[in-house]
Structure 1
């Protein structure tokens, strides 16, 4: 793990880093020492590790909970060059969608393939970040919707360090079998009028989670609409319950 730059503002310390060729960013409370929970944020399609929506949530989690937050660019996003295979499939999918094909199965197949790259990358990021003195090997949470959900379900299913997950705007076609292996608490969010992920697919994914503690949140709106602030408030309370935040010294 190589730190490229550091900065601090409004009580939040930011470190841009690379892990091999993987670019990422870590946020912690300014002056933090010792072990604390870590939340991984998976960004949406077409976004990146420092997209305004990611920054906003990361800052809320750090400020309200005293946790560390990490996010990395998924292949073909942010500071990463186009991934030849994924870029080709994404281009083909766009043409097929414009020709009238159903969006949901195309997205499901793409996310299933992309997860084959991202899951081992994210697990390596956890290894590296938790070696830092101001993060340590505390409990881990995950937040991700849309693409962040499609990649997050296989990540949470594969990673025993994750204790709780907020997921949403995703469907069951790509993830139902993996979702059944998830037994940690889950908060699942859907946009009731989502035009990209059929409501029935989202409900099927929620039903597939093997968690005994899970909650379904629905709000009016379409896939790309801004998520209501009360959903972020709820995510903060959810992680506070399940990650047992460690106060900043």
Structure 2
């Protein structure tokens, strides 16, 4: 892991890093010393590690909870090069949607393909951050909705260091089997009028989670609606309890 730049503002210290050409960012409380629990953020489709919503979320978890927060660009996003295979599949899927095919199964299949790459990448990020003394070696958390949920469910299922997760705006079509292997506490976000993920598929994914402690947070609005501020407050309290 190589740190490329450092800046501080509004109580948050930001460090851009590269891990085997995987671009990422680590946020910690400015002026704080010593390791602290980590929350890994997964960004949405078409976004990147420092998208405005990601920055706002990271700053809230750092300043409100004293957490370390990290995010990386998923394949084909942010500072990562274009992936010809993923671009080809995305183009084909768009044509199929325009021809009248339902979008949810196409998204689910595509996310399952991308997760085969991102799950080992994210585990290597955890390894590097924890071994470098930047974050605590103990429990970590995960936050991801939409694409961040499609990739996050198999990651949380595979990574025992993740002890609490906020997931949502995802479908059971590709993730139900992995969801059944998740046993850590989960807060699940659902948009009641989601046009990309049918409501029944979001509810099915929540139902598939193997967690004994899980709560469903449903709000009106379409897939890309801005989540209410109180949901972020709830997420922060949730991570405080479990990390």
If the TM-score is normalised by the length of the shorter chain, which range does it land in? over 0.9
Q: Does 1:199 align with 2:199?
A: yes
User: Aligned equivalents of 1:134 and 1:154: distance in 2?
Assistant: 25
Q: How many residues align?
A: 243
Q: Does 1:82 align with 2:82?
A: yes
For the residue of structure 2 that corresponds to 1:58, the secondary structure is helix
Displacement of 1:133 in angstroms is 2.6
User: Aligned equivalents of 2:176 and 2:136: distance in 1?
Assistant: 32
Aligned to 1:240: 240
Displacement of 1:121 in angstroms is 0.3
Moved more, 124-133 or 170-179: 124-133
Please list every run of at least 4 consecutive aligned residues from structure 1 whose deviation after the TM superposition is greater than 4 angstroms: none
Displacement of 1:138 in angstroms is 2.9
Displacement of 1:24 in angstroms is 0.2
User: Aligned equivalents of 2:134 and 2:154: distance in 1?
Assistant: 28
For the residue of structure 2 that corresponds to 1:173, the secondary structure is helix
Displacement of 1:126 in angstroms is 0.4
User: Aligned equivalents of 1:134 and 1:30: distance in 2?
Assistant: 13
For the residue of structure 1 that corresponds to 2:174, the secondary structure is coil
For the residue of structure 1 that corresponds to 2:173, the secondary structure is coil
Displacement of 1:100 in angstroms is 1.4
Displacement of 1:91 in angstroms is 1.1
Aligned to 2:143: 143
Aligned to 2:126: 126
Aligned to 2:13: 13
Aligned to 1:66: 66
Displacement of 1:136 in angstroms is 3.0
Q: Does 1:179 align with 2:179?
A: yes
> Structure 1, unaligned stretches of length 5 or more?
244-249
Displacement of 1:84 in angstroms is 1.6
Does the 8 Å contact 1:32/1:134 carry over to 2?
no
Does the 8 Å contact 1:33/1:133 carry over to 2?
no
TM-score normalised by structure 1 residue count: 0.96
User: Aligned equivalents of 1:192 and 1:26: distance in 2?
Assistant: 33
RMSD after superposition: 0.8
Aligned to 1:101: 101
Moved more, 27-36 or 40-49: 27-36
TM-score normalised by structure 2 residue count: 0.98
> Structure 2, unaligned stretches of length 5 or more?
none
What are the Cα deviations for residues 129-152 of structure 1, in whole angstroms up to 9, with x where unaligned? 112333231320000000000000
What are the Cα deviations for residues 96-145 of structure 1, in whole angstroms up to 9, with x where unaligned? 11221100000000000000000000000000111233323132000000
Aligned to 1:160: 160
User: Aligned equivalents of 1:134 and 1:84: distance in 2?
Assistant: 34
Does the 8 Å contact 1:169/1:197 carry over to 2?
yes
User: Aligned equivalents of 2:209 and 2:79: distance in 1?
Assistant: 33
User: Aligned equivalents of 2:100 and 2:229: distance in 1?
Assistant: 34
